[in-house]
Amino acid sequence: MAFTVGISRYERPYESLRIAVERAGGLPKISPGSRVFIKPNIVTWVPGGVFPKWGVITTSRIVEDVVRILKEGGFEHIKIGEGIVYGGLLRDGITKEAFQTLGYYHLKRRYGIETIDLFEGPFKRVQIADGISLNFSVEALESDLIVDIPVLKTHAQTVVSLGIKNLKGLIDIPSRKRCHSKNGKGDLHFYVGRLFIGLPPIWTVIDGIFSNERGPGFDGTARRTNLIIVSHDVFSADKVGSTILGYPPSDVPHLVHASKVLGRPIDLSDVQVVGEDLNNLISFHKYSFDYNRDNSLPAVMDRMGIRGLSYWKYDETLCTYCSFLNGAILTAIAKAWAGTPWDEVEVLTGKVMKPSGTKKHTILLGKCMSRLHRNNSTISHPIFVKGCPPKPDEVVKAFREVGIHLDGALLEHPEGYVSRFLKKYEGREDFSEEFFRID
């Protein structure tokens, strides 16, 4: 059996998506009275919405085009839902602000759809493997169809973030954190590769108007790619999307897990691509941030000459909520560097990192690290920064204790930290905010 994936170039609103849908076999074969749940990809939101959304957030252009096509197909009961964080934290009103800015309330008035903040619940436990369950949104579980609209991007931990990875946004925060465990039952790739288990049918529309290198966030580098990928099979869509990003599906661990769960080949031998020539679309996107030779510092900080500090490279156990803070801390450290080596400090993050045993001071960043090493006698001077994620003022206090004076404003007000990434896109006509507005 061959699974069809339709691809079109993005050239015109609505029409370009319509072509991809037709190439993929048309609309899902369900009754017009069915309940449809649309899941866009909104990684995070910053007050005011002033940050690079290209390649990070599903474009409002594609969301509206999907809604229009569904409505023209007779589907009446449509909901759009997402669970959004700010600076790695829940914040009252942040989902409402994101939906307002992205124009979803215009869709509500124009097409009669509903908008859902998934963090308001309820959630229901779903078993994804023997003895392993995650809590999924009841809104999604009780729908007849999930319309999955991820962005075409790589991911610093999972290599790519496409249709299957976007389903992680359907689970509650404790479940999201559980996905970053490494406890013998499974790792991040194991969990992500099973996110589709127990869900309703999934119709996938990969938004490739913009793609993202070293995603999934704003600190990656967006490209104008102008592609739309559509399939009634999320695994096939992801295999094609991964190939376009430059990674054979066999190089993506969670897709390897998914292939085993489904009993299907990991290559494209069971996929029929209709439309564009796949070989002409492949464009390699790096997924990992560059570090120095021993992974003790980001390469850019190593080139700055920073010494006396080892901030070990993140691993797959670093969850989303510490990850955002992690980037802000590294930015604050770079800003604090004055040319004088610091006093042999190391920083441990995630859930499994071990101390080097050679440093004078070890900052244990987050609840997981603090618990893991609370009785570790090999650490000369442990500094515990508890919290999930830690509070910015506690982070500043910990670094000050070892002589590194961070600018607390970068941690307390991430909008300033985030907006600095806009500079690389200034003056570029192909990177317009209009793709994220609905008038």
Q: Are residues 305 and 255 in the same domain?
A: no
Question: Residue 52 domain-assigned?
Answer: yes
State which amino acid sits at residue 353.
Answer: M
Among 232, 255, 287, the domain-final residue is: 287
253 with 324, same domain: the answer is: no
Are 91 and 145 members of one domain?
yes
Same domain, 248 and 330: no
Residue 38: closest CA among 81, 68, 85: 81
Residue 130 lies in a domain: yes
> 239 and 354, same structural domain?
no
The answer to whether residues 220 and 262 belong to one domain is: yes
Within a domain: 437? no
For residue 194, the Cα-to-chain-centroid distance in whole angstroms is: 16
Residue 12 lies inside a defined structural domain of this protein: yes
Number of domains in the chain: 2
Q: At a CB cut-off of 8 Å and minimum separation 6, what does 311 contact?
A: 296, 297, 298, 301, 330, 333, 346, 347
pLDDT the model gives residue 27:
96
Among residues 257, 287, 317, which one ends one of the domains? 287
Do residue 54 and residue 108 come from a single domain?
yes
Is 336 inside any structural domain? yes
Range of the domain at 392: 299-420
429 occurs within a structural domain: no
Q: What is the pLDDT of residue 196?
A: 98
Q: State the number of CA atoms in the 13 A half-sphere of 71 facing the CB.
A: 15
**Tens digit of each residue's pLDDT, the chain (439 residues):** 799 999 999 999 999 999 999 999 999 999 988 999 999 999 888 888 889 999 999 999 999 999 999 999 999 999 999 998 875 555 678 899 999 999 999 999 999 999 999 999 999 999 999 999 999 999 999 999 999 999 999 999 999 999 999 999 999 999 999 999 877 778 999 999 999 999 999 999 999 999 999 999 999 999 999 999 999 999 999 999 999 999 999 999 999 999 999 999 999 999 999 999 999 999 999 999 999 999 999 999 999 999 999 999 999 999 888 888 898 999 999 999 999 999 999 999 999 999 999 999 999 999 999 999 999 999 999 999 999 889 999 999 999 999 999 999 888 887 777 888 999 999 999 999 999 999 8
In a domain, 120, yes or no: yes
The token duo for 109 is 């008035």
Q: How far apart are CA 307 and CA 21, in angstroms?
A: 54
Q: What is the pLDDT of residue 103?
A: 97
Domain shared by 322 and 175, yes or no: no
The answer on 145 and 94 residing in a single domain is: yes
Instruction: Cis check for the bond before 28: say yes or no (omega within 30 of 0).
Output: no
Residues 141 and 55 in one domain: yes
pLDDT at 232 (0 to 100) = 98
Are 266 and 147 within one domain?
yes
Residues 305, 230, single domain; the answer is: no
Q: Domain of 151: which CATH number?
A: 3.40.50
Tell me what pLDDT residue 325 has: 87
Give pTM, 2 decimals.
0.96
Residue-level pLDDT at 290? 96
pLDDT of residue 88: 55
